[in-house]
Structure 1
């Protein structure tokens, strides 16, 4: 995981949006961890930065499990913050929901892709 975080950090720096590093690394690690814990086939992470009016970072994690993740229940983010829950698992998508500007999951042949986007315009 540390190699993946380092590569992502290097790309964000070279793309001129190093301010996205902390959030992007955290969320990418959460999605990768979920994929590796729930599949036997590994995972592939890709990151792209779009230009133009919708200047966004998109990170995708592809894996071999067709089952899509469930979105956190409404209010899960505020409940976790208010109660100070300190569980060691099950909070990855809560973090993605709370910190990403957009996220989702799509079925693909042989598995799925789970993705998140961060607004890069404000970070540039």
Structure 2
């Protein structure tokens, strides 16, 4: 699974460690950055549409958020990633791509595949084991949308910080 994580800021400087840092950056070089200094972070992974890769996508999400100093988003993000990647594996076509983008205001989670079918929220019956994924995404995220492309679709959602 190819993975990349990129800081999206220019002219980053290593600064002295701040003694009252509550971001988890203590013990690492530098100090916690202010909102203006932080910019955004992104991580991208692409993998074959196999069910076992849903767990890898969750692990990537948890690892990236811990590295970026926002582990408090991990549980919600991991659940959303699990639902979106599962939908792509189950109903999409071709490789699945996961992109995480952390800004000062939100975490954007995007999952892309080559399928043409559009996801829709549906009401699953009490006895149905599936069909609640997008309802969960709707309940957890601030908003979500689907972007269609010539070669498939991307489902994106935002978790407020």
Q: The TM-score by the shorter chain falls in which range?
A: 0.7 to 0.9
- Equivalents in 2 of 1:40, 1:109: separation in Å? 13
Residue 111 of structure 2 is matched in structure 1 by: 61
Work out which of the residue numbers 82, 85, 95 in structure 2 matches 1:32.
85
| Higher relative contact order (CA closer than 8 Å, sequence separation 6+) | 1
Alpha-carbon displacement from aligned partner over 1:15-71 (angstroms, at most 9, x marks no partner): 1211111110111110011111112313111101013xxx10001000101222123
Q: Structure 1: any 5+ residue segments left out of the alignment?
A: none
Q: Does structure 1 retain, via aligned residues, the 8 Å contact 2:107–2:159?
A: yes
- 5 Å matches for 1:94-109? 94-109=135-150
Residue 59 of structure 2 is matched in structure 1 by: 6
- Equivalents in 2 of 1:14, 1:117: separation in Å? 19
- Equivalents in 2 of 1:103, 1:58: separation in Å? 9
- Equivalents in 2 of 1:104, 1:94: separation in Å? 13
- Equivalents in 1 of 2:127, 2:67: separation in Å? 35
- 5 Å matches for 1:34-53? 34-51=87-104
- Greater percentage in helix: 1
SS in 1 for 2:87: helix
Query: Which portions of structure 1, spanning 4 or more consecutive aligned residues, are displaced by more than 4 angstroms?
Result: none
SS in 1 for 2:118: coil
SS in 2 for 1:68: coil
- Equivalents in 2 of 1:100, 1:86: separation in Å? 25
Residue 70 of structure 2 is matched in structure 1 by: 17
